[in-house]
Chains A and B, each alone.
Chain A
Amino acid sequence: MPIRYDADLARFEAACTVEDALPLAEWLEATVAPRVDLSACTDLHTALLQLLLAARPAMTAGPEDAFLARYVGSALRLQ
C-alpha cells in the first residue's frame, strides 16, 4: 500500500497511483486535521495531487524526489 494511514498522518511512499485516490479522498474527508508526509514519495498521481490541493492538509515533510520537490511541493505550500 503506497499510502500508509496512521491516525491523522498519511505517509506517501514510493509511487502513489490513481488507485489511491478514492481511499485518500475518504481519509481526507474523515480526518479532522489531516497531515501528510511526502518525503518518501517518488511519484504522485495527478488525481492525488488535486485532492491535496483541494484539502490542503498540513505537510509535515515535503517530497524528496527532485521533480516533486521543485514543482509540487511548492504548489502545495502556496495558495
Chain B
Amino acid sequence: MSELFDQFVVEAQELLETAGGALLALERDPADRASVDELFRAFHTLKGASGLFDMAPFTRLVHAGEDTLSLLRDGRRGMTPELADRLFRALDQCARWVAALEDTGALPADAAQAAETLVGGLSGVSAEGTAGGGEAAGEADAFPWVTALAGEDREAVGAVAGVLTAIDYTPDPECFFTGDDPLALFRRVPDLRLLRIEPAEPLPPLAQMDPYRCMLRFRALSGAGVEAVTPAFRSVPDQVRIGSVMLAPAAAPPSANPIAMAPPGSLAAAMLEEQARILDLPGSAAERQSRSAAVARAVAAILTALGRPIDRAVVTAVCADAGTLRRFLADGPPENGPPEKPAAAEARPAPPRRALRVEPERMDALMALVGELSVVKGQLGPLVRRVGDGQLTRDMKAFSSRLDALVGDLRHAALRLRLLPLARVFDPLPRLVRDTARRLDKTVELVLEGAETEADKDILDVLGEPLLHLVRNALDHGIEVPERRAASGKPPGGTLLVRAFQDKGGVVVEVSDDGAGIDPAAMRKAAVAKGLLAPDAAAALDDDEAVRLVFAPGFSTAGSVSDLSGRGVGMDAVRAAVERAGGRVEIASTPGSGTRVRLSLPLTLSITRVVVVEAAGSLYGIPVAVVGGVQRVPRAEIRGVKRAESVVLRDRVVPLVRLRRLLGQSDDVGRRGNGGGADCVVLVELGDGPVAVAVDDVGERADVVLRPMTGVLRGLRGYAGTAVLGDGRLILVLDLRELL
C-alpha cells in the first residue's frame, strides 16, 4: 500500500506538471485539441488514481476539473482567461496537496473546504449548478425512466457512468399555436446524448388526429450540466423538468462476465469494469493506445491495492482491448495460459532507463578530487621541464601529455555529471508570464530558446531567482500596456524572449523585451533625485552608464512602485547573486524599442578560472569572469586628482585603484623597478562600470578549485576564497566587488 502511495505521489506530480503545461498551451490556443485531451487525461488519471486512497477532497476537485474539461472538449464551454485562472488554482491546490501528502501522508484539515470553494468556481459559479450536483442522487428517482434505460440506449448515451442531466419535457398540447416547436428546442441542448420521442397518450387513428395538437413527450439525457441545459427551455419552464441524475453502470453489461478478481459489488469491481468500458470507447488509434496505457496503469494499481499484484507486462497485454480485459478479470490471471503468453512477451516494454540517484555530497567529493587531480597534474609540467633533455624527459613529456588528456577528459566527464538542462529554470516562466501579464492587463508572448542548454546544477540554482526577477521586471516596467504600444506603432502584444546559449566556457541567459526601453535621461534625473549621485556626476555619465544605474542599490525605474517588481532592490539583488557566482550582468536598452539583460555565468562553480596577479610580493587571483582585459599603461597616462586616479582605456575614463592600496600594503610605487614607467592594469568589469586595477605584475590564467574561507577567516571580506596553483603555491582569490 505504501509503495502504491509513493507511486501515486510521483505520478501525481508529473501529471500536474503536464496539466499545467497543457493548460498554458490551451489558453494560448483554445482550439488546441491535443492540449484539451492531454489536460483531460491528466485530470482523469488523477481522479482514478486518487480514488484508490482516502482523499475525497482531492478526488472531488479533480473530478470537477475533469467535468469542466469534458465540457471544453465537447465545445460546450469556451476557454476564457477566467476559466484558465480557476483551473490553474485547482492545479495549484492539487500540487500543494500532493506536497502535503508527500510530507505527512494526509491532506490538510481544511482540504474539504478548499475543494468545495474551487469546485464551486469550476462549475460556473452558479448556485443552481452546485445545487443540481448536490441533489444528483436524490433526483434519480424523479426520472425513473433513466434507471430503466435498456442496454442499447445506455450504449447510445455513451456515458462512462457519471452525472448526466435528464430532461423530461411534456409540451403543452396547444403549444403549436404559440409558435413552439418542441423538437427544435433539443437542437439547442448541449451534448445531447439521448432523445426519446414518445406519444404522451396513445395516438388516435390518423383520421381523428388534430395535426395542430401536440401529443408527444420528450425525454432526453445530456452530458452537460443542469445550468448549461436549462437555457434551451427558457420559454417553457412550466412544461419541463430538468435535473441531474447519476447513471449507475449498467447492472449487467451485455458482454461482461462477473469479475472474479474483485469481490462482486465492491468498488474495486466497479472500477475494474469501468476500465473495460473505457477501452470500449471510440477514438483514433492514438487515443485508444494512450487510453489502454492509462487503463493498464489503473488496473495494475487496483489489483495491487486488492493484494493481487500482477506482472505489469501481463496487465499491459490484457489491456489491449476490452474483451481480453474482461476475460482476464473474469478468469483471473492465466495460470499456465498459453494464449496469453506470446501476447505478454510481445507487449513487454523495454526495461525503462532508470535514473541513478547520487547524493549531492558524493558528487561534490568527486568534483573536489577531480579538481585536486587537475591541480596536481599541473605540477607535473614544471617538474618535467626541470629534468632537462634526454630520452627520459621525452618519455616523461609523452606520459605527461597523455595524463593531461586523461585528466581533461575526466574533468569533463565529472562536470557533465552535474550538468542539467536550463529547462529546469525555464519551466516556471510560462506560468509566471501568463499570471503576471493577466494581472497587468498586458498581452505578452513568451519565447523560450535554448532550454536544452546545459549548466552545472549549482549555476541553475543561482540562476533561478534572478531570472524570475528579470522576467517579472520586463513585464512590469518593460512591456507597455496595449494602448500605449498601439500608440507608438507597435503590435499590441509584447514579446519577451528568454534565450540561453553556451559561450566560451560559460552559459549565457538573455532576457529581452520589445518594450519601452530605459530612458537614460530619466535615469540620471532619478539618480540625482534619490541622492545616489551628485548632479554633475550624473550629467557626466554616458547613456550606457546611465542605463546601468538600474543595478545600483536602492534604485527603482518605474514611476510608481508596483507590488510585482518590488522596490528597486531587485535588480541590485540580481547583480549581486550573479556576481557572487562568478558571473556578470550586462544591460543594453534602446528607448522605445526594448531592453536586453544578459547574465553570463561560468559553467560550474567547482572550478574557477582566475587571472593570477602579483601585488607586494604576494599572488592573488581575480576571477576571469570579471576581467575585461589586461594591459600595460604608461605611468604618464594615469591622471591623478589628489589620491583619486583615472586612466583612459578604450575611449573611456576609468577610475584606477591600486591593489596594494586596497589590500592595505605599502604603496611605494616609485621603488618598483618592474614595468619601467608603466603600470600593469587589469580592467575589471563590475556591474556599475569598469574599474582599472593596477597590480605589480600579471601572471598566467589558471583553473583553480576555489576553497571558501573557513574558520576564523570566514568573516574576512574581500576574498572569495583560497586556491592552490599548479605549482603548489597558494593564492587568495579576490572578491573585487566587496573590496572596491
Residues of A within 8 A of B (CB): 18, 21-22, 24-25, 28-29, 43-47, 49-51, 53-55, 67, 70-72, 75
Complex contact B214–A50 (CB within 8 A)? yes
> Nearest Cβ in chain B — how far from A52, in angstroms?
10
Complex contact A47–B176 (CB within 8 A)? yes
Nearest B residue (CB) for A71: B195
Q: Chain B residues near A50: list those with CB within 8 A.
A: 199, 203, 214-216
Q: Chain B residues near A18: list those with CB within 8 A.
A: 176, 181, 212
Q: Which of B183, B192, B206, B215 contacts A45 (CB 8 A)?
A: B183
Q: Chain B residues near A54: list those with CB within 8 A.
A: 203-206, 209
> Nearest Cβ in chain B — how far from A31, in angstroms?
11
A75 vs B205: C-alpha distance when bound (angstroms): 19
A18 vs B179: C-alpha distance when bound (angstroms): 9
Q: Which of A24, A51, A53 contacts B197 (CB 8 A)?
A: A53
Complex contact B211–A49 (CB within 8 A)? no
Q: Chain B residues near A24: list those with CB within 8 A.
A: 211
Nearest A residue (CB) for B179: A18
A1 vs B206: C-alpha distance when bound (angstroms): 23
Nearest A residue (CB) for B184: A43
Q: Which of A25, A29, A53 contacts B216 (CB 8 A)?
A: A53
Check if B285 is an interface residue, CB within 8 A of chain A: no
A70 vs B657: C-alpha distance when bound (angstroms): 87
Known: A45-B183, A46-B184, A49-B183. A72 touches B197 (CB 8 A): yes
Could you say which of A25, A28, A50 has the most chain B C-beta atoms within 10 Å of its C-beta?
Answer: A50
Q: Which of A21, A44, A51, A55 contacts B183 (CB 8 A)?
A: A44
A8 vs B199: C-alpha distance when bound (angstroms): 26
Complex contact B211–A51 (CB within 8 A)? yes
Check if B504 is an interface residue, CB within 8 A of chain A: no
Q: Chain B residues near A25: list those with CB within 8 A.
A: 206, 209, 211
> Nearest Cβ in chain B — how far from A33, in angstroms?
14
Nearest A residue (CB) for B200: A50
Q: Which of B196, B206, B216 contacts A49 (CB 8 A)?
A: B216
Known: A46-B183, A71-B186, A71-B197. A28 touches B214 (CB 8 A): no
Q: Chain A residues near B186: list those with CB within 8 A.
A: 67, 71
A40 vs B251: C-alpha distance when bound (angstroms): 40
Complex contact A46–B216 (CB within 8 A)? yes
A70 vs B209: C-alpha distance when bound (angstroms): 26
Q: Chain B residues near A75: list those with CB within 8 A.
A: 196-197
Complex contact A21–B212 (CB within 8 A)? yes
Q: Chain B residues near A49: list those with CB within 8 A.
A: 183, 197, 216
Residues of chain B at interface, number, CB under 8 A: 25
Check if B207 is an interface residue, CB within 8 A of chain A: yes
Q: Chain A residues near B171: list those with CB within 8 A.
A: 46
Complex contact A21–B211 (CB within 8 A)? yes
Could you say which of B176, B183, B196, B207 has the most chain A C-beta atoms within 10 Å of its C-beta?
Answer: B183
Q: Which of A43, A44, A46, A55 contacts B214 (CB 8 A)?
A: A46
Check if B182 is an interface residue, CB within 8 A of chain A: yes
Top 9 closest pairs, chain A to chain B, by CB:
A71-B195, A21-B211, A25-B211, A46-B183, A54-B203, A75-B197, A46-B182, A50-B216, A55-B206
Check if B354 is an interface residue, CB within 8 A of chain A: no
Check if B187 is an interface residue, CB within 8 A of chain A: yes
Complex contact B197–A47 (CB within 8 A)? no
A28 vs B197: C-alpha distance when bound (angstroms): 20
Q: Chain A residues near B192: list those with CB within 8 A.
A: 71
Q: Chain A residues near B196: list those with CB within 8 A.
A: 75
Nearest B residue (CB) for A55: B206
Q: Chain A residues near B203: list those with CB within 8 A.
A: 50, 53-54
Complex contact A47–B207 (CB within 8 A)? no
A43 vs B212: C-alpha distance when bound (angstroms): 17
Could you say which of A44, A47, A75 has the most chain B C-beta atoms within 10 Å of its C-beta?
Answer: A47
Nearest B residue (CB) for A67: B187
A44 vs B182: C-alpha distance when bound (angstroms): 11
> Nearest Cβ in chain B — how far from A9, in angstroms?
18
Q: Chain A residues near B206: list those with CB within 8 A.
A: 25, 28-29, 51, 54-55
A22 vs B537: C-alpha distance when bound (angstroms): 97
A-B contacts besides A21-B212, A50-B215, 16 pairs, CB < 8 Å: A21-B176, A25-B211, A29-B206, A44-B183, A45-B184, A46-B176, A46-B183, A47-B211, A49-B183, A50-B216, A53-B197, A54-B206, A67-B186, A70-B195, A71-B186, A71-B192
Complex contact B214–A53 (CB within 8 A)? no
A41 vs B207: C-alpha distance when bound (angstroms): 25
Q: Chain B residues near A28: list those with CB within 8 A.
A: 206
Chosen A-B contacts, 16 in total, with CB atoms closer than 8 Å, are A18-B176, A18-B212, A25-B211, A29-B207, A45-B183, A45-B184, A46-B176, A46-B181, A47-B176, A50-B215, A50-B216, A51-B206, A51-B211, A53-B199, A71-B192, A72-B183
